[in-house]
Amino acid sequence: MTSSIFPPQGNKSEVETGQVFQPKFDKDGLIAVVVTDHGTGEVLMVGYMNDEALKRTIETGEAWYWSRSRQEYWKKGATSGQVQKVVEIRTDCDQDAIVLKVNVEGNGATCHVGYNSCFFRRVVKSDAGEIILARPDEDRVYDPKEIYGEK
């Protein structure tokens, strides 16, 4: 999808090894964003940005997303305080994905369930041979019920 903010993609060589930032948005106008902790390298979450959210992120140094479920802009941490201060932005060979290295403000957690990372569960085989999710290895950083009440 062509963005109204960023230049359209050039030829393969330019996109893959050039110096012009030509992010490719999918047919819904979105690009996948992998967020990692700048200190530990841990993957914290995957979000989606449209061109305006990506522009805001670059300009403000704080991560903005497009919420696919709510169909609205979403500044991470606006209510939770878990603001993502951007340390580094990377893109991949075909410029259709973004890596954001961030420092997280507030209580330092990223996941609304209370864990440091949204990827707090491993996919494992049970003793019975079934594919299940293991109980988290780590403790939660906070209990969302204590802050937001029962939901």
The whole-angstrom separation of Cα 98 and Cα 79 is 24
Among residues 19, 127, 129, 149, which is the contact residue for a second copy, using CB under 8 A?
19
Single-letter amino acid, residue 20: V
Is residue 42 within the footprint of a second copy (CB under 8 A)?
Answer: yes
Q: How, if at all, do strands 97-104 and 31-37 pair? A: parallel
Q: What angle do CA 48, 41, 107 make, to 5 degrees?
A: 75
What one-character DSSP code corresponds to residue 55? H
Q: How far apart are CA 76 and CA 1, in angstroms?
A: 25
Q: By CB under 8 A, is residue 70 in contact with a second copy?
A: no
Is 133 one of the binding residues for a second copy (CB under 8 A)? yes
> Which of residues 39, 78, 79, 90 is near a second copy by CB under 8 A?
90
In the set 20, 103, 106, 148, which binds a second copy (CB under 8 A)? 20
Residues near a second copy (CB under 8 A) are 16-21, 32, 34, 36, 40-43, 45-46, 58, 88-93, 97-99, 111-113, 115, 118-123, 131-135
